[in-house]
Each structure stands twice: as structure tokens, then as C-alpha cells.
């Protein structure tokens, strides 16, 4: 069993193969990207009401949300990540404001990920294929790499701008790893911890 599975932030220990974990696969961001997105959130918070902003330490590029997974299956899920090392490192750019389902009526607020070599797309497809073999539900929507920065508590919001704001530039990021995260829901919000990670 993977050593990283045995202990989580806050001292959680896993004792049973039947314990259920909430998992997702994602890409970590650099400190510079987090700081920039934190400043963006502060700016948007002054313009938009009713948005629950993602804490800066939780910001990431999502590849696949797995949902509930029994601990006995975690090692097989972690093994899906190992072949992804061949795609690393890869350059992307972070920037451009958008929303789902649209910037004019956004329930989810995100910042885009420019993937010029379509490497993130390849990583995503590999995750989908590997997780599909383990019985996880296939995502039917087209993959759109992004960083979720906020979610509306109630009614959708109209974003003050869409795309890259005038005078701003996208932030370069070298993707050097892919991570299997646990998301533990607490009253204060989700706490993420690393289960397995492949790096350059």
C-alpha cells in the first residue's frame, strides 16, 4: 500500500479497506499563479455578491473528479497516474476569466488554461481511460482545462469581463506533476491532501 495513503493532514489515519474517500485528480499551481489568482479574487469580490471563493491553497487545475472511492481501490487509482510522467514537464499559460455555463450567467467562475501543445488534453484522456477501466463514470462533457476560483451560492452572476482583461497578460506555468488528491469536507470547507503524485 502506498505510504502516502496512510496519513493525511490533520493526523487522519485510514484503518479499513471499506472506508470511503472523496478523490480527484489535478495539477498543482505555482506560488506565483496562486498569488495572482488570489489578487483576482479580491478584485472580483468587490464587484460580485453571493460568491463562495475557493481558498488560495485549494486552487488547482482539475483533470478528473472521481467522487467516493473505497480505500481498497485507491492503490489502483494511484497507478493510473504513473504513465503520465511521460508527458511532463509541459508548458501552459493561466489567464482569461470565464464562467459556466456562460460569463453572462455564471454559476462557476474560472480562469482559463492555455494548452498550446494539447498535452493537458492528452493527460486528461489518459486519466479518463485508466479510471474508466476501474469502473469510474466517464465524463460526457468536453474537457475544458481551467482553475475554478468561485461558485455562486444562489443566483448566477454576470462577470464584469470575459477573457483576458485589457492590460493583463497570461501567467506561464510549467506543469511538473499530476496529483491524486483527497478532498475531506469539513464545516469550514474542503481540506485537500495528497495521496499520490507523479513528477518529472
What string of pLDDT tens digits covers the 200 residues of the chain?
344 443 333 334 444 567 899 999 999 999 999 999 999 999 999 999 999 999 999 999 999 999 999 999 999 999 999 999 999 999 999 999 999 999 999 999 999 999 999 999 999 999 999 999 999 999 989 999 999 999 999 999 999 999 999 888 999 999 999 999 999 999 888 999 999 999 98
Pairing mode of beta strands 189-199, 61-70: unpaired
Closest to 63 measured CA to CA, from 5, 144, 132: 144
Which three cell numbers, joined as nine digits, stand for 84?
503520465
Sign of the dihedral through C-alpha 70, 183, 110, 89 = negative
**β-strand 61-70 against 90-102: which pairing, if any?**
unpaired
How far apart (Å, rounded) are the C-alpha atoms in residues 106 and 98?
A: 8
**How many C-alpha atoms does 195 have within 13 Å on its Cβ side?**
28
Query: Which three cell numbers mark 57?
Result: 491553497
Partner residues linked to 185 by β-bridges: 190
Assessment of whether the complete model's pTM goes beyond 0.85: yes
Task: Give whole-number Cα distances, 50 to 46, 119, 153, 184, in Å.
Answer: 11, 35, 6, 24
Domains annotated for the chain, with CATH where assigned, are: 3-199 (3.90.1140.10)
Amino acid at each position: 500500500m502506498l505510504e502516502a495513503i496512510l496519513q493525511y493532514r490533520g493526523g487522519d489515519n485510514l484503518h479499513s479497506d471499506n472506508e470511503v474517500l472523496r478523490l480527484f485528480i489535478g495539477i498543482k499551481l505555482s506560488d506565483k499563479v496562486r498569488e495572482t489568482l488570489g489578487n483576482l479574487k479580491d478584485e472580483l469580490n468587490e464587484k460580485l455578491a453571493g460568491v463562495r471563493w475557493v481558498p488560495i491553497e485549494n486552487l488547482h487545475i482539475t483533470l478528473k473528479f472521481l467522487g467516493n472511492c473505497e480505500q481498497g481501490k485507491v492503490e489502483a487509482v494511484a497507478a493510473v497516474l504513473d504513465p503520465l510522467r511521460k508527458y511532463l514537464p509541459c508548458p501552459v499559460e493561466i489567464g482569461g476569466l470565464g464562467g459556466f455555463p456562460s460569463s453572462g450567467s455564471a454559476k462557476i467562475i474560472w480562469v482559463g488554461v492555455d494548452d498550446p501543445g494539447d498535452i493537458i488534453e492528452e493527460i486528461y484522456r489518459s486519466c479518463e481511460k485508466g479510471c474508466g477501466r476501474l469502473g469510474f463514470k466517464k465524463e460526457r462533457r468536453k474537457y475544458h482545462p481551467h482553475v475554478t476560483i468561485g461558485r455562486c451560492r444562489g443566483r448566477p452572476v454576470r462577470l464584469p469581463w470575459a477573457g483576458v482583461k485589457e492590460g493583463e497578460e497570461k501567467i506561464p506555468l510549467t506543469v511538473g506533476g499530476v496529483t491524486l488528491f483527497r478532498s475531506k469536507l469539513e464545516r469550514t470547507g474542503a481540506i485537500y491532501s495528497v495521496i499520490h503524485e507523479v513528477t518529472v
